[in-house]
Every structure is written in structure tokens, then in C-alpha cells.
Structure 1
């Protein structure tokens, strides 16, 4: 149960005002044991060994946060959210040096006009697409599309962002976001902009989104040249899938997600994405690289306390930068979640991925594509074309 820290209108009462404010403390703790068939350092495709280790935030990232609102009158509220991720196995910060790495924003909301927020937050692209993301039932760590190449998981939060989201009008919601890069002499360098729309009507849901992330270094190369004012190198997850393209001048994503609920027990969701890595004069590749991904997730709820899901995704890169046998990735996922109570649950996850073809290595050289399940293995992808991972854990929400 979420704990209300304060619900008051101190001072305003003395003035005869009727505005109310609230602040809520909430959080998730998720810890388990995971197995990975082989792992190697990012950028290397040799020397991998299997590993059993304590894993953190697999079903849902461990976090705590504060969120609140104040009634300003006329149907308008001031809102804010501060959210910090942490490692439940070690107590470490989710991202070193960031007190609220997941979200930190403030803004206003109105039931008629929508909301406008400013700070570190998710882009409109992710927010609109996420209800039908494969991560809903397969998790991001094991079930995100390979390496989370299409940013349908929560890896990317944009600094210095302005986000507008409309009210729901007959099932339709639209949103747009712009993140200022803060690089002197340029409005484009280091910026992120995105837009999305979502429609839900009864059992049917559909969403579409666009996102562009610009390198803060003109011409490509290392991201986040000015870590004080730019997005500080906040690339969408770098993995064994896109490692050779991380010096891009810009990344661009277009995606469609959707779902259909057949009965109270069965539902299905789908997703398609097109991801483009655009080179600059300082990039370690010369031609635009494109990755297309399609996926399906089938969710079954045989009991009120039990959720089962199975998913498949296929990712394929286009031929470019001297590659004539482009990389492809087949990923298979299973998940099981058992609710012990409203706030506590047990889960098990299994995933397998097979990679084929060629891709680019860190220095721009052509190498064999290697497997990299979901986004939980991004720092340690497989040393071979195949990878298997499994995990069990417990999650508690408060």
C-alpha cells in the first residue's frame, strides 16, 4: 500500500482557501537469481563463460519515489515526481551520481487541457507505445527486443525535457516532447524530440510513435561532450546489437504497437519498429544502418493469482557498411508470475536468442553477430551466436 506522507492545506486554510495537496511515497524491491549461458565484455565476442548471479530489478526495476499534486483551482493541479532507481542486492544507486535517475519533473495538469511537465522524464515516444510493449509481460531484462534497440523499455530518459500530453478524448491521447541539448551555438546538438499517439477502445488498443536523438558532438563520435548541459551521453541502450553504431550523429526510431483482449483470460499484443543510425563525419561507420523488428506476445491468466506469457521477436539489419550478410536475431521468451498478495509476487523467466549474419564491432570492423537477450545482458552479451538466460525472483511493492 502506498503511504501518504502528507495531505494538507496548511496556510491556505488560514486564508480561507480550499486547495488540497498530497505527497505519496512509493516503491518496488525486486531481487532474484539469474543464469546466463555465456557472457563476454561488450565489444568482445570471445572468452565467454556461463554465470549464476544475484539479479536486481528483473521483473520491475527496484526504485523508490515521491509524487504529489496541489489543487490550484479551476480544475488545474501542480504535479511533480521524483524517482530513484537502486540495486536491491547491493544498495547502490541505479546510476552513479544521479539522485533521481529514473524521473525528476514538475508541471501542471488539467483534465480539459492536458499536462505540461519539465525535467528528466520519459519521451512521448515511449509513453504512448509502452502499454503494448513486450516488456509488459516478458520484462525488459529478458523480453525487450534484442538490446532494447527500439527503446520500448525504460532505459532511456531524456534530460531537460518539456513534455505535453493531451487529455483522453474518445479514446485518443496524443503527446509530444522536446529535450534541449544545451550545447552552445546549436539548437540541434544533444537534443531529443518525439511524438506519439495512442487509441484505446474496448478490447482494442493501438499506438504509434516517432523519436529522434541527436549527438551532442557535431559530426558524430563520443556522445555527451558537455555532460553539464547536454543529455550527458544518454544514448538508448548500447548493446551487442548496436555497439558498432554508437558513434552515430543521430538515432531515429519509428514504431507501432497494439493489442487485443479476447477474454478476461487471453490477450495478445504486437509491435513493429524501424531504427536508423545516421553517420556523421566523426562516426566509425559511413552508411546509414537500419534495424527492423517485429514481435508478438500472448498473455494467459488461468487464475486470478497466475499470469503466463510467451513471446517471439525477429530483428534484422539492412546490408550496409560493407556487410553483405546482414545480422538477424530470433528471440523466444516465457514468463510466469504468481501473486502471493496484492503487493508481493514470485516470478520465473526463460529466454533464448539466436543471432546470424554479420555486424560492426566497436572499431567499425565487420564481425559475427552475437546474441544479446533483452536488455539485461547489454553489458555482457554472449560470446557466441546463441544465448540462454533464466531467472527466478521475488518482488514487493509499497
Structure 2
């Protein structure tokens, strides 16, 4: 249960607090055991071995945070959120060097005019598309489309962001975000911007969005530290799927997600995305690489304490950069979640990916290798050394 804490009890915000202010301390701890059939280093196609390891933050990322609001009158409130992710297996920060790596923003909200926030936060693309992403019931670690190629999981958070989200207008919500790179001499370099719309009508929901992420390094190459969508100066979500294209000048995504609830027990969601890696003069590849992904998830709730889901996705790259047999990835997922209480649950996850075709290795153009399997985004840094990978995990999660 989330605990509301009176601001007068918090010395750091006690001074100047108003009677209609509130601060909430909340968190999640998620830990389990996982098995992976083959693990090797990123970019390698040899030396893979099976592994059993402790996993954390799989069903929902382990975190703690503070969020609050102050009533300014006239229906307007000031809001803020500070959220830190951590590794529950060893106590380390999720992202070294970032005190509030998940979110850190402040803003204002009004039920008639919408919400405007500034800081480190999710893009409009993710926020409005995510309710129907595969991660809702399959998790990001096991169920995100291979490597989270389309940014439908939480790996992509943007620094220096200004985000506006409209109120719900007859079922329609629109949102736009812009992240300032702050690179001298260029307003565009390092920036991230996105726009999205979501429509809800009873059991039906659909969302569409666009997102562009610009490298702050002129002409591409190593992902620059001023790039707004990055963690500690490194490009996020590099995996065996996009490893050969990580020196891009820009990444661009267009996606559509949606869902339909047949009954209180059955619902289905779907997603389609088109992802483009655009080269610059310093990139290690010379042709634009495009990945198309389609997927669906069927969710079943036979009793109030049990959730079951099954998912499938297919990702295919274009033939470019000397590749004549384009890479493709088929992923199959199952998930089971049992609620012990409103705050605590047990989960089990199973996933299998089969890769085919060819892709670029770490060195880029001219270094063509066989595509290797990647499951979700929990194994991005430790992909399979072969075309197949199986992974399974069990864990416990509790919220406060």
C-alpha cells in the first residue's frame, strides 16, 4: 500500500508547505531466478553457455520514489516525481551515476487544460502507446519485441524534456514532447522529439505515435553524451538486433498499438512498428536500416487472482549494407501471475526466439554475420551465440 506522508514530516520539503500539499513514498521490489539457454558477449557468435542467475525487476522494475502535488487553486496543481531504479539482487543503482534514473520532473496539471512537465521522463510516444504494448502482460525483460527495437518498453527515457499531454476529450488524448540536446551551434543535435494520440471507447483502444532520437555527435558515430535519450552517455537498448547500427546519426520510429476486451476474462492487444536507423558521415554503415515488427498478446483472467498470457511477434529487417538475406526474429512468450494479496504476487515467464538471416556485426558495414537470437530486452547485453534462445524465470514482487 502506498503511504502518503505529510510534508511536515519531511524536513527537506517542510518549509513553505501548504495545507493542501501531499507527498507519497512508493516502491517496488522484484526478485527471482532465471535460466537462459545460451549466453555470450554482445557481438559474439561463439562461446555461448547456458546460465542460471538471479534476476530482478522483471515483472516490474525495482524502484523507490517520491511524488507529490500542491493545489494552486482554480483546478490547477503543481506536480513532481522523483524515481530511482535499483538492482534488488545486489543493491546497485540501475544506471550508475544517475540518482533518479527512471524519472525526475516537475510540472503543472489542470483537468481542463492538460499537463505540462519538464525534466527526465518518458516520451509521448511511449506514454500513449504503452497500455497496449507486449510488456503489459509479458514483461519487458522477456516479452518486449527482441531488443526492444521499437521502444515500447521503459528503456528509453529522455533528459531535458518538455512534455504536454491533453485532457481526455471524448476518448481522445494527444501528447507531444521535445528534449533539448543543448549542443553549442545546433538546436537539433542530441534532441529527441515525439508525438502521439490515443483513443479509448469502451472495450476498444488504439494509439499511434512517432519518435525521433538524434545523436549529439556530428555525423553519427559514438553516441554522444549530450544525446537526450541516453543513459550515462551511452545509447540505450543496444542488442544483437541493432548492434551493427548503433553508430547511427538518428533513430526514427512509427508505431500503432491497440486492444479489445472481449469480456472481463479475455482481451487481446496488438502492435506494429517501423524503426529506421539513419546513417551519418561517421557511421559504420552506409545505408538506412529498417526493421518492421508485428505482434499480438492474448490475456486470460480465469479467476480474480490469476493472470495468464501468450504472445507472438515477428521482426524483419530490410536488405541493406551488403546483406542479401535479411535478418528476422520470431519470438514466442507465455506468462503466469498469481496475486497473493493486493501488494504481493508470484510470477513465471517462458520465452523462445528464433533468428534467421544475416545482420551487421559490431564493426558495421562489411562485417556481415549470422543473426543471433535475443529475447525481450532483459538479455540485451548477453545474447545467444546461436540462432535460438530459450529463457524462463520465476519471481516474487511486492509493492509499497
Closer, same or farther: CA 374–9 of 1 in aligned 2, 3 Å = closer
2:71 aligned residue = 71
User: How many residue pairs end up in the alignment?
Assistant: 393
Over aligned residues, Cα RMSD in angstroms?
1.8
Q: How far is the alpha carbon of 1:45 from its aligned partner? A: 1.2
Secondary structure of the residue aligned to 2:235 is coil
Q: Distance in 1 between matches of 2:34 and 2:373?
A: 17
- For 1:129-148, list aligned pairs within 5 A: 129-148=129-148
Q: How far is the alpha carbon of 1:232 from its aligned partner? A: 5.1
- 1:289·1:317 contact (CA, 8 Å) conserved in 2? yes
- 2:157·2:230 contact (CA, 8 Å) conserved in 1? no
Q: Distance in 1 between matches of 2:227 and 2:333?
A: 37
Closer, same or farther: CA 328–345 of 1 in aligned 2, 3 Å = same
2:380 aligned residue = 378
Secondary structure of the residue aligned to 1:141 is helix
Q: Distance in 1 between matches of 2:54 and 2:136?
A: 22
2:32 aligned residue = 32
Q: Distance in 2 between matches of 1:265 and 1:228?
A: 41
Closer, same or farther: CA 53–297 of 1 in aligned 2, 3 Å = same
Q: Distance in 1 between matches of 2:3 and 2:113?
A: 29
Secondary structure of the residue aligned to 2:187 is coil
1:188 aligned residue = 188
Q: How far is the alpha carbon of 1:236 from its aligned partner? A: 3.8
Q: How far is the alpha carbon of 1:224 from its aligned partner? A: 1.8
1:252 aligned residue = 252
- 1:9·1:18 contact (CA, 8 Å) conserved in 2? no
- 2:372·2:386 contact (CA, 8 Å) conserved in 1? yes
Q: How far is the alpha carbon of 1:233 from its aligned partner? A: 3.4
Q: Distance in 1 between matches of 2:135 and 2:340?
A: 21
1:356 aligned residue = 356
Q: Distance in 2 between matches of 1:231 and 1:388?
A: 28
- For 1:10-29, list aligned pairs within 5 A: 20-29=20-29
Q: Distance in 1 between matches of 2:44 and 2:220?
A: 23
- 1:223·1:232 contact (CA, 8 Å) conserved in 2? no
Q: How far is the alpha carbon of 1:367 from its aligned partner? A: 0.3
- For 1:39-50, list aligned pairs within 5 A: 39-50=39-50
- 1:224·1:232 contact (CA, 8 Å) conserved in 2? no
Q: How far is the alpha carbon of 1:150 from its aligned partner? A: 0.2
Secondary structure of the residue aligned to 1:285 is coil
Q: Deviations over 1:105-163 (max 9, x none)?
A: 00000111001000000000000100000000000000000000000000010000000
Q: How far is the alpha carbon of 1:231 from its aligned partner? A: 7.4
Secondary structure of the residue aligned to 1:176 is strand
Secondary structure of the residue aligned to 2:6 is strand
2:13 aligned residue = none
Secondary structure of the residue aligned to 1:322 is coil
- 1:120·1:157 contact (CA, 8 Å) conserved in 2? yes
The question of 1:104 aligning with 2:115 is answered no
- 2:178·2:192 contact (CA, 8 Å) conserved in 1? yes
- 1:160·1:231 contact (CA, 8 Å) conserved in 2? no
2:266 aligned residue = 266
Q: Distance in 2 between matches of 1:259 and 1:304?
A: 20
Q: How far is the alpha carbon of 1:38 from its aligned partner? A: 0.3
TM-score normalised per structure 2? 0.96
Structure 2: gaps spanning 5 or more residues: 11-15
Q: Deviations over 1:330-374 (max 9, x none)?
A: 000000000000000000000000000000000011000000000
The question of 1:208 aligning with 2:208 is answered yes
Q: Distance in 1 between matches of 2:18 and 2:145?
A: 48
- 1:109·1:115 contact (CA, 8 Å) conserved in 2? yes
- For 1:1-398, list aligned pairs within 5 A: 1-6=1-6, 20-226=20-226, 233=233, 235-364=235-364, 365-398=367-400
- 1:191·1:231 contact (CA, 8 Å) conserved in 2? no
- 2:171·2:201 contact (CA, 8 Å) conserved in 1? yes
Q: How far is the alpha carbon of 1:104 from its aligned partner? A: 0.1
